[in-house]
Structure 1
Amino acid sequence: MKLSEIGEFGFIDRLRRRAPGGAELVLGIGDDCAASRLAPGELLLTSTDLLIEEVHFRRDWSDLKTLGRKCVSVNVSDVAAMGGEPSSLYLGLGIPAGFGVEDLDAFADGVLAACAEYGAVLAGGDTCGSPGPLFISVTVQGRVPEDQLLTRAGARPGDLLWVSGRLGESALALRELLAGGRPGPSAANAHHDPRARVALGRALAAQGLATALIDISDGLLADLGHILDSSAVGALVESAALPLGPDLRASLAADPSLIDLALSGGEDYELLFTSPPALAPAVAALGTELVPVTQIGRILPQGDGLRLLDAQGRPRKPSRSGFNHFGS
């Protein structure tokens, strides 16, 4: 079915009928604004992101349902990075000519499935035609108890540096896709269908285990740099401790320089956080219960800067460069 047969408002109504409501959502899709309740003592978290075809994704690399899932997950990850839970999602689409209703239904399948997985509701958005590529704008709102908000500030010298999951596989997949290759299954899944670590972020906040928290979107060293700047501290990172997936480990055997994908590759959407040494057993227990966590270094005084040890334990000059839309 062509989109022109049902029109913009027909598509919006089609989506409205598929989107479930929620306890906090008083008024959802179909009016000028959505209306939500916020419980006393909670803070509203809001983050927005833009995904542009040929910049952030290519449709010949991933099906539309998986793309719908990813555009939700990468935004929900920002809420997880504040120790919060997502509640509402707002979706803006710039739709190119030639898109059929079935294409949009597939994309919506992924969006709605991911919303359900994270406990969020699709509460509104906008659609328009695009003279060029597909544009996707996502705004996510979440909540966190006021006394549990986690930020990039708060890391202290002596804190341990932890990361969830595995690093570098998404960047490895992108590298192979750009070269015309076919990524391995682990790398492909990490790139096309990441998972936001909401449960871990909430647990760190609720149990008071983290002093600073951020998600890894632009690369480990670049995002660690945000913690260092905000907290006015330095850090030591041990390359040998980095948690790597099977596809990246296999690639490292042939090209050890690919460790840079774990350090600066980006799009991991794992949580990077600091925690006092005395709380290490409780942090490790979360790693057993929710998602693996790995200690990769420690926080130093600000004057020590960022120090990096290579796989043999030798000092290596670190680069804090990560993905930069406006970089050369």
Structure 2
Amino acid sequence: MPGEAERIERIASLARRSSDDLILGIGDDAAIIRKNDTHWWLISTDSQIENVHFRRDYTPPRMLGHKALAVNLSDLAAMGGTPRFALLSLNLPKDIEQSFVDEILVGMVALADQYSTILVGGDIAASGNGLAMTITIIGECPAGRALRRDGAKLGDLIFATGRLGLAAIGLQLLQRGHRYDPALPIHLQQLILAHLQPTPRLEIGQRLAERNLATSLIDISDGLSTDLYHICQASGVGAIVYAEDIPVATHVPEEVNTTALENALNGGEDYELLFTVPRGRVAQIESLRAQFNDLPITLIGEITSEPGRMYLERAGERTPLRPRGHDHLRQEE
């Protein structure tokens, strides 16, 4: 069965059209549409589907509502945008209690209020196969300032925010019977919350756009290996990743059967930002770090001239790095 990238390319080949107001269509974290002479609209959509993205037995409804919006806000963060409005489509199974749905909305609207985003409409329909939510997010940015995947250049340095792989570890803990509880040890809470309640990195995305600092930007939703590959493909470049410098989880519970590095490279759902910066502007990253002193901003690699070829450098040796991150549609080998 074709993977997600192949499906998207197929859709794009069938649906690609042009318009004077369409700046960018299918292929990035959001479409870009001209709003007026000074601003562009940014529009994206994402879904949370029961037994694909979440299970009701381990996902508190407020956190589910938070995450459903957060993953959409993360797409705007990856464009350097500011969210404005959202539309919600709800597909409800017969067995769901109204109180559960109410709690989803409480969590969603709380996050929306945090980022001055207004839920303006949507759709409700019955579902014959579990709960599903699809949000369309509408944001904006100054004209000409949207950050895209296709601008990385030879010699650029690669940075990532936060710590990578925590969400994948948290998911494994949930699948093994753990549940979020404020009484859990802090390190377990952090891992589980990384999966259930991610933080969209809107502010740092906006700063990167305002300063015209990043040549390319993407959010890490599918895993570092896959999302870096998206940048390489779109930009026509390659990359070297320094394994020892990747900001991985500091603690991996014994019951988790993958390493911190494996989760960082291939786990997905971190919703951190991955971006490239010209070597000559790296000093400006320090001032950015001063603004976001609670958020690690880590140099993890460099851009090379080999299109689509990525390498993992460890102890002075380089081995091919293949995109092995999450893909709902890819058949397991």
Q: TM-score range by the shorter chain?
A: 0.7 to 0.9
Q: Tell me the SS of whatever aligns to 1:247.
A: coil
Alignment of 1:96-245 (within 5 A): 96-181=93-178, 184-245=188-249
Question: For 2:278 and 2:94, how far apart are their aligned partners in 1?
Answer: 54
TM-superposition CA deviations, 1:100-142 (whole Å, max 9, x none):
3322221110110010112211111111122220011111011
Q: Tell me the SS of whatever aligns to 1:72.
A: helix
Letter in 2 for 1:261: N
1:85 Cα deviation after fit: 0.8
Q: Which has the higher helix share?
A: 1
User: Which residue matches 2:318?
Assistant: 315
1:251 Cα deviation after fit: 5.6
In the alignment, structure 1 segments of 5+ residues that lack a partner are 1-36
Question: For 1:48 and 1:196, how far apart are their aligned partners in 2?
Answer: 15
Q: Tell me the SS of whatever aligns to 2:86.
A: strand
Question: Structure 2 length as normaliser, TM-score?
Answer: 0.82
8 Å Cα contact 2:155-2:278 kept in structure 1:
yes
Matched positions, count: 289
User: Which residue matches 2:272?
Assistant: 270
1:274 Cα deviation after fit: 0.2
User: Which residue matches 1:306?
Assistant: 310
Question: For 1:101 and 1:180, how far apart are their aligned partners in 2?
Answer: 26
1:176 Cα deviation after fit: 2.5
Structure with higher Rg: it is 1
TM-superposition CA deviations, 1:197-254 (whole Å, max 9, x none):
0000000000011000000101101000011011111111011101123334x669x9
User: Which residue matches 1:68?
Assistant: 65
Question: Structure 1 length as normaliser, TM-score?
Answer: 0.83
TM-superposition CA deviations, 1:130-177 (whole Å, max 9, x none):
222001111101101112111001111111100011100001111232
Letter in 2 for 1:102: S
TM-superposition CA deviations, 1:10-49 (whole Å, max 9, x none):
xxxxxxxxxxxxxxxxxxxxxxxxxxx9564111111111
8 Å Cα contact 1:186-1:247 kept in structure 2:
no
Cα 1:288/1:255, change in 2 over 3 Å: farther
TM-superposition CA deviations, 1:79-109 (whole Å, max 9, x none):
1101111111110101111323322221110
Q: CA RMSD in A?
A: 2.1
Question: For 1:262 and 1:251, how far apart are their aligned partners in 2?
Answer: 17
Give the alignment partner of residue 285 of structure 1, picking from 287, 298, 318.
Answer: 287
Letter in 1 for 2:83: P
1:326 pairs with 2:315: no
1:321 Cα deviation after fit: 1.8
Q: Tell me the SS of whatever aligns to 1:148.
A: coil
8 Å Cα contact 2:233-2:308 kept in structure 1:
no
8 Å Cα contact 1:82-1:201 kept in structure 2:
yes
In the alignment, structure 2 segments of 5+ residues that lack a partner are 1-33, 181-187
